Each structure stands twice: as structure tokens, then as C-alpha cells.
Amino acid sequence: EDKVVQSPLSLVVHEGDTVTLNCSYEVTNFRSLLWYKQEKKAPTFLFMLTSSGIEKKSGRLSSILDKKELFSILNITATQTGDSAIYLCAVEAPSVSNYQLIWGAGTKLIIKP
Amino acid sequence: KAGVTQTPRYLIKTRGQQVTLSCSPISGHRSVSWYQQTPGQGLQFLFEYFSETQRNKGNFPGRFSGRQFSNSRSEMNVSTLELGDSALYLCASSLSGGVRAFFGQGTRLTVV
């Protein structure tokens, strides 16, 4: 059965710290991996990764994919209280008639001032 | 342009009742997916509609159903509500399905 596992489930750090969130997957016919940030209710798109070893970067956030070891990491440097959110990882995998996203349970990140 | 709109935002229902949730996708988007989110469980896929046809379905009982209209708006119905159906229900729209979906704010359903 296809699955996506995120770790840790929750994390509390202080402002200015660097954090690394993990996402491992066991998915047949992997197509892409996506990271979303969920602050209140609506998850918002961060990154899509399809190729191994190529880092995607946006400001203080960056992510990389390792297709050999089947995982991805999301790094946040110089964290701010506004980074507090649930970070969701999803893997695109084939379904009966199309592709669908298989989601991890998320990492709840709390940044203390 | 307007984002994905879900109504209502909050709902309280009694066990055994039924409920209908609505999702209006971004203009031009033809795919609408529905998810159930409960604490610690992540997003559980319910179903996806594309051009008024259900294209994918998750592992939920038949009490959960949906439909999509010709203007791409979608509704989700849950019959015979159970306490365990209490959750945040999110819908996401995209041009043709799959990646880069845009989410609505969700409907928080509480079953008492």
C-alpha cells in the first residue's frame, strides 16, 4: 500500500533556529512530491519536486528530493513566528484513471518568540 | 481572481442527520477534489470530479457522495452522520487534476 510518512509529528523551536522536516514515501510509480504549508485551514503550495538532488529554494525555505532513498526534506532557516504552521507533504501517484495525491499526516511546527 | 470558496465555513449537526457542503473552484478549473482532515491523520482523499464525472474515489463508505455541476461547482453529501465524521473538509481545485491544487478554507463539521 502506498504511504507517505512525515517526521517529526510536531516540533517546537525558538525564533532564529533552523529546522529540517522530513518526508519519506513508499509509492509505486512516483511522479512528484509536493510540500504545502497550512497555517489556519487552507494549505498553500510551497514546492514541487520531481528530480533527485535538485534543490528548490524560496527565501528562507528550501527543499530537496532523494529518489534513491525515497525521501525529501524541507529546510527553514532563521525561523520566524510566522513560520508556525502544519507542513504537509504529498506524493503524486497514479490512480485508476489519473493521478492522485497521497498525503502525509503533517508536521506541526511551533516557533516561539 | 477569486480563490476556491467553500460554504458553509462551520456546521454543527446531530448524529443521523445528513449534510451538504459546497465548493466553488477557481474560474476555469475543471477538477475538484475533496479531502477529510482530522488531527493526526493528515488529508484523506474522498473523491475527485472532473467535467461532472467522478474520476477518482478514496476509501470512504457510501455515505459520502458528491457531484459536480456544469459550472464546475461541486457538492459533497454525507448521510447518516456519525460522531467520527467530525472533521475539516477541504476542497481543492486545479485545471485538470493532480498537482498544484488550490485549496479552499474548508468547512469545519462538528457532529454531536
- Scan for cell 497555517, then name that residue: A39
Q: In the predicted model, what is the mean pLDDT of chain A? A: 92
Query: B55 to chain A nearest CA, in Å?
Result: 6
Instruction: Determine the residue among B36, B37, B38, B91 to mutate to test chain A binding: the one whose Cβ has the most chain A Cβ atoms within 10 Å.
Output: B37
How do residues A75-88 score in pLDDT, each as one tens digit? 999 999 999 999 99
CA distance linking residue A25 with residue A54, whole number of Å:
18
How do residues B82-105 score in pLDDT, each as one tens digit? 999 999 999 999 987 766 789 999
Q: What is the pLDDT of residue B85?
A: 97
Query: Does the beta-carbon distance from A44 to B4 stay under 8 Å?
Result: no
What residues pair up with A70 in beta bridges, in sequence order? none
How do residues A11-52 score in pLDDT, each as one tens digit? 999 999 999 999 999 988 888 999 999 998 889 999 999 988
Q: What is the pLDDT of residue B95?
A: 87
Q: What is the pLDDT of residue B1?
A: 61
Query: Does the beta-carbon distance from B99 to A42 stay under 8 Å?
Result: no
Q: What is the pLDDT of residue B27?
A: 93
- Closest Cα partner for B33 from B63, B59, B56, B64? B56
Question: B62-92 burial, b if ≥16 CB within 10 A, otherwise e?
Answer: eebbbebeeebbbbbebeebeeebbbbbbbb
Cell of residue A41, nine digits: 485551514
- Scan for cell 485508476, then name that residue: A96
In this predicted structure, the answer to whether residue A98 has a pLDDT above a threshold of 90 is no
Contact list in A for residue B45 (CB cut-off 8 A) is 100-103
B83 SS3 class:
helix
How do residues B59-69 score in pLDDT, each as one tens digit? 899 999 999 99
Instruction: Indicate the burial class of B4 (C-beta count within 10 angstroms; 0-12, 13-18, 19 or more).
Output: buried
What residues pair up with A57 in beta bridges, in sequence order? A62
Q: What are the residues whose beta carbons fall under 8 Å from the beta carbon of A71, sequence distance 6 or more? A: A22, A23, A24, A25, A65
Query: B13 to chain A nearest CA, in Å?
Result: 20
